[in-house]
Structures are given as structure tokens and as C-alpha cells.
Structure 1
């Protein structure tokens, strides 16, 4: 456990994690490129879910490297990293189940999105968010679900089109679970000091 804590707070590791998340965020926005080109301007902030989640975490890592905390970014990162990390894993496995095939990018997305969810949880003891930050981040997340499944701005998985109502239902409850997990991990467990070495 001490080795993991040392690794998580090591400046070189944090810098590497920052670079990986910047690259992943850029790739994510490119992945959404075609959909964003067709999206009305008012909905654009709510369409690229996973890259926006990793962008929140980029800001958290920048703050950590400055030996600082940005609590609202921490709340947004924790909830959305877990939610969209798990969501993408489930959607890609469901795509494999429904179509019987998943391209190599799908397996890459499973691995990278699982890592997204994991990194959010691993750093949660170092966050300094309060309940007000959690409430704002929770509202953002639930509002995003409304944009996705009431205004049909959800990420496009063509082979899953016939399951959109079920996916919307699953996504709503995944949001609730993510908010609950964020509350537990960041506000109910013992906090650790972030001593960046």
C-alpha cells in the first residue's frame, strides 16, 4: 500500500499520467468529430462525454503538480471518470455480444476506459472536495443524461440503436451510482495528504 501511495504521489508518475490523459482527451475529441460536426452549438459541451471527463482530470493533475487542489474539478473528474469509464466498457462488451464482433479499437476503448474509472477512484482519497462541489458535479452529470437521452445527443454505437431506451435507463442509474461512489470515496473515507515528491 505504501508503494502504491508513493507511486501515486511521485512527480514523474503524475507528469506521465498528465501526458497520457492529455493524449487520451485529444483522441476522444477526435473520435467524436463527426458527431460534433452535426451537433447544435448549444449541446456541444455535453456530447463528448469521456474526453470531457478526462479533461476534468487533466486539471486535477495540473493542480496536484502545483501542490494545489481544485475541488470542483476533483468532483467532476471523480464522478465522470467512473461513470463514463464503466459506461464505455459496458457498451463495448454489449456491442461484442450483439454483433458478435468488436474491432481492435473496441478492445482498446475497454482497456482505456476501465483505466479512466480506476484512476478516478485511486486518487479520490487525495481530493478535497466538499458536498457543494459534489452537488454541482452531480447536477452536471444528471443534466448530461437529459441532454443525451431526451434530446438524443448520446454517443453513437450503431449496432446498439434498438437498445437506446434500455441504455438510457442504465445510464441514469449509473450516474446515481457514480455520485454515490464519489460521495463515499471522497467524503466518507479517510483523506490522505498529497505530498508530491
Structure 2
């Protein structure tokens, strides 16, 4: 078996692989919400409760990916449910790519300015890289079209706006708070880039869609 078989449609679409990835992502999602627990409590205590939904960015992205996997395992049969599936799949790709790349970039940007990386940082680098990669790999199994991307991109831009308007963005390495405006700009640009990547991989990643 060639190594390329590991990212083929045939391999990725196996129910055993889908279930394995679902379990891994579900565990990561739970861990992510625990990781953000302190910031969520702080947001409730010092902000507004509605802002909490915008705090745990990465675990919410992996939650969307878990839902997308479930919809591959149990495909909806009604038109309305199928449209919902497209929305969730597009949301999973846009947010997984965006927050996967964002977290890795922020960790290394902090290191470049003097932050000392601990083992948890390397664990986050590995897990967030996997988030972005798996989302783009599974585009070939997803059903969304370009029209389904507008909602997820708008949602993610709204998330960015709430994050930097109310200060509920993920806590940064201390060295980066002097560069907050640059981080904000990078975040917005990454959202647009992730939406574009989701469209490119949807359009050209699967020959059956051409």
C-alpha cells in the first residue's frame, strides 16, 4: 500500500476511519473547552454572557468538524437537512483551517519575540496543524458548494469583530500584546484566506466537481 493511499477518498471514507477521527476530534473538543475554561469564566465575570460563545474558537471549530463527520456517517435525506449539512461542512473547513493556522502562527510569533515554549505549546502546534490538514483533506468527501461558504465566512468575521471589539480573543503570549493591532489584522486576513482556501479545495480538490 502506497503512502498516498492514506489520503485517498477510498481510505478517508471508510467508516472505521470516520469514527476514529470523530472520537479523536471529540476528545480534543472536550479538552479545548476545558483549556478555555478560565477565560470563559473571566468573560462571564467581566463582560456579557453572550460573549462566551465567541471565546473558545478552536474547540468550537473542532466541534463543527465532529458534526461534519457525523453527517458523513449518517447522511441526511431531506433537502433542508442536506442544506444544513453543506453549511456545517463549510463551517468546519473555514474555522478549522483558520484557527489551526492562527494558533500555530501565534505560538511561533510569541517564540520569535522571546516566549519560551513548553511541551503544551508543541502539543498545540501538532493538534492545530492536524486541524487544518484534516479539514482540507476531507473537502473531497464534503458536499458544500461556494454558496454555502458565505455564511461561515460571515460568522467567522463576526467572531473576529467580537473578539477584538470586546477583548475576548484567545489569550496571547505576553510578548504579543504590544502588537495587538497586527494580530487583529492578521486574524481578519486569515479568515478571508481560509474562506478562499475552502473554495479552492472544494473547486479543484475533487475532479468529480469539475
Partner of 1:180: 196
List alignment gaps of at least 5 residues for structure 2.
77-81
Q: How far 1:190 moved relative to its partner? A: 2.9
Pick from 10, 13, 27 the counterpart of residue 9 of structure 1.
13
SS at 1:99's partner residue?
coil
The whole-number CA distance in structure 2 between the counterparts of 1:146 and 1:100 is 27
Tell me the C-alpha RMSD between the 2 structures: 1.7
Q: Which TM-score applies when normalising by structure 2?
A: 0.86
Partner of 2:183: 167
Q: How many residues are aligned here? A: 193
Q: How far 1:10 moved relative to its partner? A: 1.4
Q: List per-residue Cα deviations over 1:48-80 (Å, max 9, x = no partner).
A: 100000000000111111145611110100000
CA contact 1:28–1:51 (8 Å) conserved in 2: yes
Pick from 40, 63, 81 the counterpart of residue 96 of structure 2.
81
The whole-number CA distance in structure 2 between the counterparts of 1:107 and 1:184 is 29
The whole-number CA distance in structure 2 between the counterparts of 1:189 and 1:149 is 33
CA contact 1:126–1:192 (8 Å) conserved in 2: no
CA contact 2:64–2:89 (8 Å) conserved in 1: yes
SS at 1:36's partner residue?
helix
- 1:4-153 matches, within 5 Å, as 4-5=7-8, 6-39=10-43, 40-68=48-76, 70-153=85-168
List alignment gaps of at least 5 residues for structure 1.
none
Q: Which TM-score applies when normalising by structure 1?
A: 0.92
